[in-house]
Chain A
Amino acid sequence: MALLTIRNLTVEFATASGAFRAVDSVDVDIDRGEILAIVGESGSGKSVSMLATMGLLPWTATITAERMEFDGTDLRSLSGPARRRLIGKDIAMIFQEPMSSLNPCFTVGFQIREALKQHLDLDKKGRQARAVELFEMVGIPDPERRLKAFPHQLSGGMNQRVMIAMAIACKPRLLIADEPTTALDVTIQAQILDLLTDLQKETGMALILITHDMGVVAETAERVAVQYAGQKVEDQPVTDLFARPHHPYTAALLAALPERATERRLPTIPGVVPGQHDKPVGCLFSPRCKFADERCRQVPPPVQPPAIGFARCHYPLNVPAEVETA
């Protein structure tokens, strides 16, 4: 049974020059204990859809969805206090910038104990003991001393470990990691990813990994959703996706991986993700797609059946012989 189910999620921001649609009819499903990766370039709306799930978007955002359920609880109609009992406990999130995601005015220990105090029935001693235990779990040496440190006294990788410790403090059933390694050194990146997958195995929680790095996806995820310009364009198990991408965008992303390059020059995707002022009428990827024709530029594409990886495309690639395209 699905842990988190989202149908037709749309998020719009009110800006000075009209509404901007950051997320456009996106579906998300994740089962208990599963690792889902959401992949896309910056500005593809991958973080926004998860922030919407958490209820963390600013007031300028308008969120609409057909379904938005976590373990049978409808997230759309949730009252403020009920939502606050859920997030931070059952759903937790860690963010891209560990340095700015921790409050500079409080010690990291205070910030962890605060999360414990909010959701668990522990006394002062119990909270301190749990904080030490958490620091040990995420591999921070000398936890008693480090708990007394302020965020600016720790390195970026160390702060991200603190963030992870804080997120898993109340044993969440779903952890959303929003580009957890982007701001870190390459050597630290691998450590943090290993830590996340290890913790996922240990605790059995579900993990949503938001990233723009296909390499990270290949190493960690079980299933992959590809997002482009606010839309989900493909959704497949990781091995199938790497073997048979159905959407031209996914194919182009994979072709751009250095280890899969066949020519001497690394292929790139020309152009940039469309912004607020230059959204195409038809398929959003059409201006950058090498297969696009007049139909792609005029008519928004349909979503293909599961066998074709839910590809949002008029002419999906690698279609098995027996399957009919939509």
Chain B
Amino acid sequence: MADASSQIARTVPTRRPGRLSEFWRYFRENRGAVMGLYVFAVFAFVAVFADLIAPYDPTAQFRQHVLQPPFWQAGGSWQFPLGTDPLGRDMLSRLIHGARFSFFVGIVVVVVAATGGVIMGLLAGFAPKWLDTLIMRLMDIILAFPTLLLALVLVAILGPSLINAMIAIALVLQPHYVRLTRASVINERTKDYVTSAKVAGAGLPRLMFVTVLPNCLAPIIVQAALSFSTAILDAAALGFLGMGAQPPTPEWGTMLAEAREFILRAWWVVTFPGLAILVTVLAINLMGDGLRDALDPKLKRS
């Protein structure tokens, strides 16, 4: 009779891969996601080192060079590679600094919304029924308002500024985390490993944060990636409506709002900020899709 050791020796050595490397393999297989990751890395790099990369101060005005086109068009020069805006400020420098604001918005909104949302979701999942109902009703109420409208009114109350826009967006995005977390907590709570932790004497905080939370992380991570891009989009929209970052801040949405009246005369002041938003948001969404496919075993190819 074949003993255990000879069984293992006979097997062809294609071992089942580990969890992290398996995740990376699925992620890497998705070429779009990897491309998104690279673009996002560049975006983060530009955001962090904007001061060093940008050729000019983003608010410096070169009055002799107002509305100069990009270098490849007649009248353009390498001095201002992407041209200048109506006040003679260098577009490239402003776009580079704009990355910093968008990145900042994304990070702050995701951290605030996710922290608040996950804690509330955990609470709702573990709380007695009345508290659960209360929290979920509250979230239903917030979700009944279109996000941008609610953010707009909140900013109108708090006063238009980038910080207030971030607070408003974080508040508006929070219910999604609450719902998601609660749903996975309720799903996990009935499982045997939670019961055994309870039997072993784990307290409620430990049960919530150490036992259950790590097992609910996959959808939360995906949601974080998706709300990063939503935050950037909404902040830009608020800036565009004049309720976000205020001029002369080189925030992409605000830049677009300033450039609106020149759309038919100087295409570059309109095209580049929007393109910057689109590319950034697209990269993050690509990444988010890759994350979801790699983390969600249900959608994996069998």
Given contacts A16-B301, A17-B17, A288-B2, contact A280 B29 (CB under 8 A): no
Q: How distant is A314 from chain B, measured CB to nearest CB, in Å?
A: 14
Answer yes or no: B200 CB below 8 A from chain A CBs: no
- Asked whether any CB of chain A lies closer than 8 Å to the CB of B302, the reply is yes
B10 touches A15 (CB 8 A): no
Q: Is the CB of B301 within 8 A of A297?
A: no
| Interface residue ranges of B79-133 to A (CB < 8 Å) | none
Contacts of A320 in B (CB 8 A): none
Instruction: Decide yes or no: A18 and B14 within 8 Å by CB, A288-B2, A289-B2 being known contacts.
Output: yes
> Is A266 among interface residues, defined by CB-CB distance under 8 A?
no
Tell me the chain A residues, 273-310 only, with Cβ under 8 Å from chain B: 274, 276-282, 286-290, 292, 297
Q: Which residues of B contact A289 (CB under 8 A)?
A: 2
Query: B73 contacts the other chain (Cβ, under 8 Å)?
Result: no
Q: Is the CB of B11 within 8 A of A279?
A: yes
Is the C-beta of A80 less than 8 angstroms from some C-beta in chain B?
no
B191 is an interface residue with CB less than 8 A from chain A = no
Interchain CB contact (< 8 A) of B10 among A18, A60, A277, A297: A297
Q: Mark B205-243, 1 if CB is under 8 A from A, else 0.
A: 000000000000000000000000000000000000000
Cβ A287 vs Cβ B14 within 8 A? no
The answer, yes or no, to whether A81 is at the interface (CB within 8 Å) is no
User: What's the minimum C-beta distance from B292 to chain A, rounded to whole angstroms?
Assistant: 16
| B1-23, CB < 8 A from A | 1-2, 6-7, 10-12, 14-17
On whether the beta carbons of A277 and B301 are closer than 8 Å, the reply is no
Other-chain contact of B2, A17, A60, A277, A287 (Cβ < 8 Å): A287
Cβ–Cβ < 8 Å partners of B29 in chain A: 16
Q: Is the pair B12, A15 in contact by a Cβ cutoff of 8 Å?
A: no
Query: A287 with B7: in contact, given A15-B301, A15-B302 (CB under 8 Å)?
Result: yes
The answer for the CA separation of A288 and B64 in the assembled complex, in Å, is 86
Chain A nearest Cβ from B116, distance in angstroms: 37
B25 contacts A16, CB within 8 Å?
A: yes
Residues of B within 8 A of A17 (CB): 14, 17
Report if B272 contacts A (CB, 8 A).
Answer: no
Determine which residue in B1, B17, B25, B29 has the highest number of CB atoms from chain A within 10 A of its CB, and name it: B1
In the complex, A281→B6 CA distance in Å? 12
The reply to whether B16 and A287 contact each other, CB–CB distance below 8 Å, is no
- Is B56 among interface residues, defined by CB-CB distance under 8 A? no
Chain A's closest residue to B2 (CB) is: A287
Cβ-defined contact, A290 with B10, below 8 A: no
> In the bound complex, how far is the Cα of B301 from the Cα of A103, in angstroms?
23
A285 to chain B, nearest CB (A): 10
Whether A279 and B12, one on each chain, are in contact in the complex, defined by CB atoms closer than 8 angstroms, is yes
CB of A232, distance to nearest CB on chain B (Å): 22
- State whether A278 touches B26 (Cβ < 8 A): no
Q: Report A-chain residues with C-beta under 8 Å of the C-beta of B6.
A: 287, 297
- In the bound complex, CA of A282 to CA of B10 (Å): 9
- Across-interface contacts of B17 in A (CB, < 8 A): 17
Residues in A with CB closer than 8 Å to B14 are: 17-18, 276-277
Tell whether, in the assembled complex, residue B16 and residue A277 are in contact, meaning their CB atoms are under 8 Å apart. yes
Interface centre among B2, B7, B26 (most CB of A within 10 A): B2
Cβ contacts under 8 Å, A292 to chain B: 1-2
Q: What CA separation (Å) do A191 and B301 show in the bound complex?
A: 38
Task: Find out whether the CB atom of B25 lies under 8 angstroms from the CB atom of A281.
Answer: no
List residues of chain A with CB within 8 A of the CB of B11. 274, 277-280
Nearest-CB distance from A20 to chain B (Å)?
A: 10
Interface centre among A280, A287, A292 (most CB of B within 10 A): A287
Q: Are A286 and B1 in contact (CB under 8 A)?
A: no
Q: Return chain B residues, CB-CB under 8 Å to A271.
A: 7
A249-B17 Cα distance, complex, nearest whole Å: 31
Nearest CB in chain A: distance from B160 CB, A: 49
**In whole angstroms, what is the CA distance A274 to B11 when docked?**
9
Chain B residues near A286 (CB, 8 Å)?
2, 10
Cβ contact within 8 Å between B7 and A277: no
Task: Tell me how far the C-beta of B155 lies from the nearest C-beta in chain A, rounded to whole angstroms.
Answer: 45
* 0/1 interface trace, chain A 232-251, chain B, CB 8 Å (1 if under): 00000000000000000000
Alpha-carbon distance A290/B2, docked complex (angstroms): 7
| Smallest beta-carbon distance B239→chain A, Å | 43
Contacts of A290 in B (CB 8 A): 1
A282 to B9, CA, bound (A): 12
Provide the B184-207 mask, 1 if CB < 8 A to any CB of A, else 0. 000000000000000000000000
Report Cα–Cα, A297/B300, bound state, in Å. Answer: 34
What CA separation (Å) do A280 and B14 show in the bound complex? 11
Q: Which residues of B contact A280 (CB under 8 A)?
A: 10-12
Shortest beta-carbon distance, B30 to chain A, in Å?
A: 11
Q: Mark A60-97, 1 if CB is under 8 A from B, else 0.
A: 10000000000000000000000000000000000000
Residues in B whose Cβ lies below 8 Å from that of A287: 2, 6-7, 10
Alpha-carbon separation in the docked complex, A121 to B12 (Å): 55
Q: Which residues of A contact B (CB under 8 A)?
A: 15-18, 60, 271, 274, 276-282, 286-290, 292, 297
15 contacts between A and B (CB under 8 A): A16-B25, A16-B26, A16-B29, A17-B17, A277-B11, A277-B12, A277-B14, A280-B11, A280-B12, A282-B10, A286-B10, A287-B6, A287-B7, A292-B1, A297-B2
Q: Taking beta carbons and an 8 Å cutoff, which residues of B are in contact with A?
A: 1-2, 6-7, 10-12, 14-17, 25-26, 29, 300-302
Known: A15-B301, A292-B2, A297-B10. 18 other contacts (CB 8 A): A16-B25, A16-B29, A17-B14, A17-B17, A60-B301, A274-B11, A276-B14, A277-B14, A277-B15, A277-B16, A279-B12, A280-B11, A280-B12, A281-B10, A282-B10, A286-B2, A287-B10, A290-B1
The list of the 4 closest CB pairs from A to B, nearest first, reads A278-B11, A287-B7, A290-B1, A280-B10
